[in-house]
Amino acid sequence: MGITLIGVEGMPLVGEGDDIAYLIIKALNEGGENLLDGDIIVIAETVVSKAEGNTIDLEGIEPSPEALDIAERTGKDPSLVEAILGESSEIIRVGHDFIVSETRHGFVCANAGIDESNVDDGLATPLPRDPDGSAERILQTLQEATGRELAVIISDTQGRPFREGAVGVAVGVAGLSPIWDRKGERDLYGRSLQTTRVAVADELAAAASLVMGQADEGVPAVIIRGYPWKHLRSAGSVKSLLRPRELDVFRD
Amino acid sequence: MGITLIGVEGMPLVGEGDDIAYLIIKALNEGGENLLDGDIIVIAETVVSKAEGNTIDLEGIEPSPEALDIAERTGKDPSLVEAILGESSEIIRVGHDFIVSETRHGFVCANAGIDESNVDDGLATPLPRDPDGSAERILQTLQEATGRELAVIISDTQGRPFREGAVGVAVGVAGLSPIWDRKGERDLYGRSLQTTRVAVADELAAAASLVMGQADEGVPAVIIRGYPWKHLRSAGSVKSLLRPRELDVFRD
C-alpha cells in the first residue's frame, strides 16, 4: 500500500471572505493536478479562520485583572492572555511561558490555539468557531466542484504533555470518522488486538504537517492520496477525538 | 513538495536473531523496490524487540504485592502488571484499566509500552532496551548494503492525555535529529515563528502508522520518500523528544 502527500502550492495569502475550496481547486489546476476519489484534503486552521474573518485585534483588547495576573506569571502579552481567556472555558495549567486551557470547543491545548504567526501585525487567529462546520462547508464545495468523493480535515500544530515539540493534529473533520475502532479484530497470531482505537485523523494531520511546514500559508493545504478510508466513511465529528473530562487522569 | 509512504510488504514473521535490515532489503527487492538516498525507514518496535529476543514470558512471572494491588485496581493480569513495574522507573497514574508510567528509557506512556499483540500466546514484547542503538545498528546495515544515505525511526503506537485514540510516535532514531528547531525563522509576514520546535520524528512515525495499521507485522516497516531532512542530518537521539520532568506541568 502506498500513500502520497501532495502540497497545494501557489495559493495566495488568504483574506476574509475568500473561498478556500475555490482557491485549492484553482491552485491544483494551475499546477496540473486534480482531485481524485478518496483524496483527503488537510487544511491549516489559520487560513480557515482568516477566510472566515475570525481574527482578534489584540490592540483593541482591555485585559482583565485575571489576565494581568497570568500575564505577569507567564511573561505573555496581557491582551493576548485576555484573548486566551475569552477562547477558554477552563484554565488547566499555567506554565512559565504558556497557558494550557480547555477551549470552548473542548480542545485541551496551549494558548487556546490562538496563533500569532502568518497574520498581520497586531492580529491573532483563534481556532475556527465551528471547525467541523467549516470542514463540512469546504467539503461540500470541493465535492460539488469536482464530483469526487472526498474528506476534509482542518489541522493545527499543537504541543503535548510529556513530549517535546509540536505535531499536527485534527481540529475539524468532514466526510470521515476520525477514530478507527478495531475492536473485535485479531492480530497475526489470532489474538485480540490490544490497541483498538487509532486516531487516524490526527495521524493524517501529522503527515500533512510534514508537507506544510509551519509557515503554513506557503503550503496551507495538502492532498493525501491512497489512504483507504472506506471503513471510516461516516458523518464524523472531531469531538470523538476529545477524551471526556471524567475519563482523563491528567485533569484535576 | 510531495512525500510518498511505501509499505514494505511480504516480510515474514520476525523471530529472535533475525536481521531486520536484511529482511527489509529482501522484501523490497522481491517487490521490485529499492532504497534511495534520503529515504527514511520507519520500523515497528514490536519486530525490533522480537528480533532482539526481547520478549517477556508472562507465565514465568511471580507478581509482587504491589503488582497484585494494581492488578486489582485496574483489572489487568497480575503478571503483566509485574512486567510493567519491571519496565518502569516511576508509576505516574493508575486508571481503571491502564497504568501510565515512566519507562526506564524515560518514555511516559501506558503500560510501559509492553505489547501483547502480534507475539505468541503467553509472551509480551516490551520496548527495545536501547531503541536509539537498535535504530543505529539497523541504519548501519541498511546503508552498508545499499550505499544510500538513510535514516531510521523505530515507532510505537501510543495513547496520549486529553485526546482519544492512539497515534504513531518515535521511540528510537538514527541518522536524523527528531526535533526541527526553527528558532529565528520568520513567517510569511516577517514575524518570528510562534511554534519553533516541531517533533518531526513523531510526525514521520504517525504518517508511517497509516500504512502499517496496527497488525504491524503485516507491514512492519514503511519507507518515507521525498521528505527533505538535510536540516535534520545529525546524530540525533530520541531523548530530545522527552520533556524534562521539571518542565512538564502534568507531572506531580
ipTM: 0.95
Q: Report whether A213 belongs to an annotated binding site.
A: yes
Return the residue in A210, A231, A247 with the most chain B beta carbons within 10 A, the one to mutate for interface testing. A210
**Do B23 and B11 touch, CB atoms closer than 8 A?**
yes
Q: Report whether A164 belongs to an annotated binding site.
A: no
The C-alpha atoms of residue A237 and residue B223 are separated, in whole angstroms, by 31
Q: Report whether B102 belongs to an annotated binding site.
A: no
Q: In chain B, what residues touch A118 (CB-CB under 8 Å)?
A: 187-189
3-state secondary structure of A92: strand
* Average pLDDT across chain B, whole number: 92
The C-alpha atoms of residue A175 and residue A135 are separated, in whole angstroms, by 9
Residue B73 touches chain A, beta carbons under 8 Å = no
3-state secondary structure of B14: coil
**Do A236 and A178 touch, CB atoms closer than 8 A?**
yes
On the 0-12 / 13-18 / 19+ scale of CB atoms within 10 A, A230 is exposed
Interface of A with B in 163-182 (CB under 8 A): 163-169, 178-180, 182
Please give the span between the terminal C-alpha atoms of chain B, in angstroms, as a whole number. 43
pLDDT, tens digit, 9 for 90 and up, residues B38-93: 999 999 999 999 999 999 999 999 999 999 999 999 999 999 999 999 999 999 99
Q: Report whether A247 belongs to an annotated binding site.
A: no
Question: Nearest residue of A to residue B207 by CA position?
Answer: A207
Chain center to CA of B244: 19
Strand arrangement of the beta sheet that strand A99-103 belongs to:
A88-94, A99-103, A108-110
Residue B119 touches chain A, beta carbons under 8 Å = yes
Closest residue to B194, CB basis, from A115, A164, A199: A115
Q: Which of A42, A45, A46 is nearest to A224 (CA)?
A: A42
| Neighbour tally for A66: CB within 10 Å | 12
Single-letter residue type at B178? P
Q: In chain A, what residues touch B2 (CB-CB under 8 Å)?
A: 4-7, 211
| Neighbour tally for A12: CB within 10 Å | 10
pLDDT, tens digit, 9 for 90 and up, residues B163-200: 999 999 999 999 999 999 888 788 777 777 777 899 99
Question: Nearest residue of B to residue A156 by CA position?
Answer: B195
The C-alpha atoms of residue A167 and residue B197 are separated, in whole angstroms, by 9
Residue B60 touches chain A, beta carbons under 8 Å = no
Residue A249 touches chain B, beta carbons under 8 Å = yes
Angle between helices A200-212 and B200-212 (to 10 degrees): 130
The DSSP code for B250 is T
B202 with A168: Cβ contact below 8 A: no
A161 with B161: Cβ contact below 8 A: yes
The C-alpha atoms of residue B95 and residue B43 are separated, in whole angstroms, by 29
With residue B30 as reference, give the H or E element that holds it.
helix B20-30
Q: In chain B, what residues touch A151 (CB-CB under 8 Å)?
A: none
DSSP B150-204: -EEEEEEEE--SSB-SBEEEEEEEESS-S-EE-TT-B-TTSPBPS--EE-HHHHH
Question: Number of Cβ pairs closer than 8 Å across A and B?
Answer: 230
Given this model, what pLDDT does residue A1 score? Answer: 58
Residue A84's φ and ψ, nearest 5 degrees, are -65, -45
Chain center to CA of A96: 25
Q: In chain A, what residues touch B100 (CB-CB under 8 Å)?
A: 249
Return the residue in A47, A77, A92, A187 with the most chain B beta carbons within 10 A, the one to mutate for interface testing. A187
For the CA atoms of B134, B140, B146, B149, the dihedral, rounded to the nearest 10 degrees, stands at: 100
3-state secondary structure of B77: coil
Q: Which domains does chain B have, with CATH numbers?
A: 4-54+128-247 (3.30.1330.100), 56-113 (3.90.1660.10)
pLDDT tens, position by position, for chain A (252 residues)?
A: 589 999 999 999 999 999 999 999 999 999 999 999 999 999 999 999 999 999 999 999 999 999 999 999 999 999 999 999 999 999 999 988 889 999 999 999 999 999 887 777 788 999 999 999 999 999 999 999 999 999 999 999 999 999 999 999 999 999 999 999 888 788 777 777 777 899 999 999 999 999 997 544 479 999 999 999 988 887 789 999 999 988 888 887
Residue A26 touches chain B, beta carbons under 8 Å = no
The C-alpha atoms of residue A199 and residue A219 are separated, in whole angstroms, by 24
A187 with B215: Cβ contact below 8 A: yes
C-alpha cell at B65: 504485592
Q: Report whether B217 belongs to an annotated binding site.
A: yes
Contacts of B240 (CB under 8 A, 6+ apart): A164, B177, B178, B179
Angle at CA of residue B250, ends B244 and B252, nearest 5°: 85
Given this model, what pLDDT does residue A247 score? Answer: 85
B189 with A119: Cβ contact below 8 A: yes
Given this model, what pLDDT does residue B214 score? Answer: 52
Q: What's the rounded mean pLDDT across residues B133-143?
A: 98
Q: What's the rounded mean pLDDT across residues B219-237?
A: 90
Q: Burial code of A119-146, b = ≥16 C-beta within 10 A, e = fewer?
A: beeeebbbbbeebbebbbbbbebbbeeb
C-alpha cell at B245: 520532568
